[in-house]
Structure 1
Amino acid sequence: MISIRRILVPTDFSDCATKAVRYAAELADKFGAELVLLHVVPDTVLALPDAVMPAPVPVTDLEALTEAGKVGLANLVTALGLQPRNPRREVRLGAPEQEIPAAAKDLGADLVCVGTHGRGGLARVFLGSVAEQVVRHAHCPVLTVRPDTH
């Protein structure tokens, strides 16, 4: 029998991710599972010097971005009425396509529920797909939720 005790749902606070949070919350209710909300602060905010710019661009304050992620998760919990579920909230720093599978493993997630922008063709080639990388690298099943899902 399938046992789902912990569901990880990453969010970038987009509409697509919010839809995945709603799905994950419903699944958590049905399985009696813990809901874990994850926001990854991308660490790609560093700029390296080059011939035109001899000094690096000032680095965005990662501490402020991390704090903004915590506030964003708290606001999401309130906006979606998730307080009764008491979801765990995690903020990590790094590349989302690497940090999400790592968090799933570290936290012992039984399922990852991730939103997808539903891009195809050249947009997907140029922009990549975090959801696709999570599916490829997560140690557990991954449910992808498209934006046009009912």
Structure 2
Amino acid sequence: MVQETTFKRILIAVDSSPFSLKTAKVGFQLVHALDAEVALLYVIDRTKESVNIETGPTREQSEMILLKEAQETLEQMIKMYNGAKQLYKFTPEGFPKEEILNTAKEWEAGVIVIGTHGRTGLSHFFQGSIAEYVVKHANVPVLVIPPQIK
């Protein structure tokens, strides 16, 4: 039996890249069109911590910098695009591709909106694609926003 999909809870996965502004814009357009609840998700990627014992910053300082970046990014997007009837914010720590799927499942999202950087060749091979992973492993529809969207 096929599970019925509901688009009343939309999870928008973002980061601090310029591509994420486009993702948030399209995601919020979908939220408004469907009169849906929305959750903004910014995964604090531990692999981006910069810790140097000799010259600083410390692990705690690096964690605070990443959390502040996440909070500022979410607040900027909320100011630009919000107007939803219900908005949630999530800033889990971990690997983005895993945390996006975990949050979608826990929050019971009906659709995931995610952007892609459009990497190809060796860059794609070595870094992989978070969006591609999410599409392959999600239990709900995934709307992927390409970098060419204006």
TM-score tier by shorter-chain length is 0.7 to 0.9
For the pair shown, the structure with the greater C-alpha radius of gyration is 1
How far the C-alpha of 1:46 sits from its partner, in A, is 7.1
Work out whether residues 42 and 74 of structure 2, in 8 Å CA contact, stay in contact via their aligned partners in 1: yes
Q: 2:9 aligns with which of 1, 6, 9?
A: 6
Distance of aligned partners of 1:99 and 1:37 in 2 relative to their CA distance in 1, 3 Å threshold: same
Within 5 Å, which residues of 2 pair with 1:41-80? 41-44=44-47, 45=49, 58-59=58-59, 60-78=61-79, 80=80
Question: How far apart in 2 are the matches of 1:65 and 1:129?
Answer: 21
How far the C-alpha of 1:87 sits from its partner, in A, is 2.6
Question: How far apart in 2 are the matches of 1:145 and 1:98?
Answer: 19
Segments of 5+ residues of structure 2 without an aligned counterpart are none
2:98 alignment partner AA: Q
How far the C-alpha of 1:121 sits from its partner, in A, is 1.7
**Cα shift readout 1:46-87 (whole Å, capped 9, x = no counterpart):** 77x9xxx9xxx8425324422331222112211x241x2253
1:25 maps to: 28
1:115 maps to: 115
Aligned: 1:100 with 2:100: yes
Work out whether residues 70 and 89 of structure 1, in 8 Å CA contact, stay in contact via their aligned partners in 2: no
Segments of 5+ residues of structure 1 without an aligned counterpart are none
**Cα shift readout 1:95-149 (whole Å, capped 9, x = no counterpart):** 1011011110011100001000111122210221111111122221111010113
1:133 alignment partner AA: Y
Distance of aligned partners of 1:81 and 1:20 in 2 relative to their CA distance in 1, 3 Å threshold: closer
Aligned length: 143
Question: How far apart in 1 are the matches of 2:110 and 2:148?
Answer: 25
1:139 maps to: 139
1:31 alignment partner AA: L
**Cα shift readout 1:23-52 (whole Å, capped 9, x = no counterpart):** 1111111211111111011112377x9xxx
What is the TM-score when the length of structure 1 is the normalising length? 0.83
What is the TM-score when the length of structure 2 is the normalising length? 0.83
